[in-house]
Structure 1
Amino acid sequence: MHRFWRLVVAGLLACLPQLSWSDATADRLARGKYLMDSVVACGNCHMQRGPQGQPLFERGLSGGFKFDVPPFTSYASNITPDTQTGIGRWTEAQLIKAIREGIRPDGSLIGPPMPIEFYRHLSDADVAALVAYMLAQPAVANAVPKSVYRMPLPPTYGPPVGKVTAPPTKDLRRYGQYLVEIAHCMECHTPRDEKGQLIMSRLGAGGESFKGPWGVSVSRNLTPDASGLKDWTDVQIAQAIRTGVRPDGQQLKPPMGFGFYAKISDADMAAMIAYLRTLKPQKP
Structure 2
Amino acid sequence: MFRMLRRAVVVLLLALPVPALAQTPLERGRTLVEGIAACGNCHTPKGPQGDLPGMAFAGGLVIDEPNAFRAVTSNITPDPETGIGRWTDAQIIRAIREGVRPDGRVLGPPMPFALYRDISDRDATAIVAYLRSLRPVRNVVEASRYPMPLPPAYGPPLGTVAGPADTPIARGAYLGGPLGHCIECHSPMGTGGQRDFTRAGTGGPPLNGPMGAIVPPAINGPALRGWTDAQIERAIRQGVSSDGRRLAPPMAFPHYARIGGTEMRDLIAYLRSLP
TM alignment of 1:1-284, pairs within 5 A: 27-51=24-48, 54-56=50-52, 58-70=54-66, 71-169=68-166, 171-181=167-177, 182-193=179-190, 195-225=192-222, 228-280=223-275
> Which stretches in structure 1 are left out of the alignment for 5+ residues?
1-22
Which deviations, in whole Å up to 9, do the C-alpha atoms of 1:37-56 show, x marking residues without a partner?
1111101111110125x123
Aligned residue pairs, count:
253
- SS of equivalent residue, structure 2 residue 47: coil
Contact preservation (8 Å) 2:168, 2:266: yes
- SS of equivalent residue, structure 1 residue 277: helix
Counterpart residue identity of residue 267, structure 1: T
Distance 1:78 1:136 in 2: 14
Instruction: Give the TM-score normalised by structure 2.
Output: 0.87
**Per the alignment, do residues 125 and 115 of structure 1 end up closer, same or farther by CA in structure 2, a change over 3 Å counting?**
same
Contact preservation (8 Å) 2:189, 2:204: no
Aligned residue for 2:6? none
- SS of equivalent residue, structure 1 residue 149: coil
Distance 2:207 2:60 in 1: 17
- SS of equivalent residue, structure 1 residue 73: strand
Aligned residue for 1:18? none
Distance 2:203 2:72 in 1: 23
Distance 1:207 1:29 in 2: 34
> Which stretches in structure 2 are left out of the alignment for 5+ residues?
1-20
Which deviations, in whole Å up to 9, do the C-alpha atoms of 1:222-259 show, x marking residues without a partner?
1122xx22211111111100000001111111100111
Distance 1:216 1:161 in 2: 36
Contact preservation (8 Å) 2:183, 2:197: no
Contact preservation (8 Å) 1:47, 1:57: no
Counterpart residue identity of residue 239, structure 1: R
Distance 1:144 1:206 in 2: 32
Distance 1:217 1:165 in 2: 34
Shift of 1:105: 0.3
Contact preservation (8 Å) 2:64, 2:71: yes
Distance 1:249 1:48 in 2: 29
Instruction: Give the TM-score normalised by structure 1.
Output: 0.84
Shift of 1:148: 1.2
Distance 1:105 1:202 in 2: 34
Which deviations, in whole Å up to 9, do the C-alpha atoms of 1:88-130 show, x marking residues without a partner?
1101010011111111001111111111111111111111000
Shift of 1:213: 2.1
Kindly report structure 1 stretches of 4+ aligned residues shifted beyond 6 Å: none
Aligned residue for 2:13? none
Identity, in percent, stands at: 49
- SS of equivalent residue, structure 1 residue 274: helix
